[in-house]
Amino acid sequence: MTTPHVSRQLHEARGIRVFHRPGHTDWTLVAFGPRQAHFSGDRWWGVGLGRREGLDVIGIAPSSYDWYPRDAMAELLPVIRAAAKPAIVSYGFSMGGYGALKYASALGARGVLSLSGQYSIDPADGTTGDRGMTYFDPVRHRDMRITPGDYPDGALLLWDPEAKSDDNHARAIARLPGIRAVPLRLAGHATPAIFSETGRLIPVAEALIAGRHEDAVAGIRAARREAPTVLLAAAALLQAQGHARWAA
Alpha helices in the chain (DSSP H): 47-53, 70-83, 95-102, 104-107, 129-135, 164-174, 193-196, 201-209, 213-226, 228-240, 244-247
Report the DSSP pairing between strands 88-93 and 28-32: parallel
* 3-class secondary structure, 19: strand
162 with 188: CB under 8 angstroms? yes
| Average pLDDT over the chain, rounded to an integer | 91
Confidence of residue 39 (pLDDT cuts 50, 70, 90): confident
Inter-axis angle of helices 213-226 and 201-209, nearest 10? 170
The type of residue at 189 is H
- Give the pLDDT of residue 230: 86
* Higher per-residue pLDDT: 243 or 219: 219
Q: What is the pLDDT of residues 47-65, one digit of tens each?
A: 999 999 999 999 999 999 9
Q: What is the pLDDT of residues 68-119, one digit of tens each?
A: 999 999 999 999 999 999 999 999 999 999 999 999 999 999 999 999 999 9
- Give the pLDDT of residue 240: 63
What is the 8-class DSSP label of residue 5? P
CA 45 to chain centre: 10
